[in-house]
Amino acid sequence: MYKYRKFGDRYVLSIDNHEEIVSAIKAFCEEKHITIGTVSGIGAVSEATLRFLDPAIKNYVDGVFTEQMEISNLIGNISTKDGELYLHIHATFGRRDYTCIGGHLMSAVLNGACELVVEDFGKGTVGRKFDPETGLNLYDFSVTEA
Ligand code: FE
113-129 pLDDT, tens digit each = 999 999 999 999 999 99
How close is the Cα of 28 to the center of ligand 1, in Å? 20
Domain assignment present for residue 137? The answer is no
How close is the Cα of 25 to the center of ligand 1, in Å? 16
Residue 107 has a pLDDT of: 98
Domain assignment present for residue 105? The answer is yes
Number of domains present in the structure of the chain: 1
Q: Residue 79's domain is classified under what CATH number?
A: 3.30.1330.80
pTM: 0.95
Give the DSSP H/E element, type plus range, for residue 22: helix 21-31
Domain assignment present for residue 88? The answer is yes
Alpha-carbon gap, residue 117 to 130, rounded angstroms: 28
Domain assignment present for residue 112? The answer is yes
How close is the Cα of 104 to the center of ligand 1, in Å? 5
Which residues sit with Cβ closer than 5 angstroms to ligand 1, an ion?
A: 104
Domain assignment present for residue 58? The answer is yes
Give the DSSP H/E element, type plus range, for residue 79: strand 59-81
Which residues of the chain carry a pLDDT beneath 50?
A: none
Alpha-carbon gap, residue 42 to 32, rounded angstroms: 21
How close is the Cα of 87 to the center of ligand 1, in Å? 10
Domain assignment present for residue 145? The answer is no
Residue 146 has a pLDDT of: 59
Alpha-carbon gap, residue 25 to 41, rounded angstroms: 11
Domain assignment present for residue 76? The answer is yes
Domain assignment present for residue 40? The answer is yes
How close is the Cα of 37 to the center of ligand 1, in Å? 16
- Cα→Cα distances 130→39, 40, 140, Å: 22, 25, 9
Range of the domain at 81: 2-122
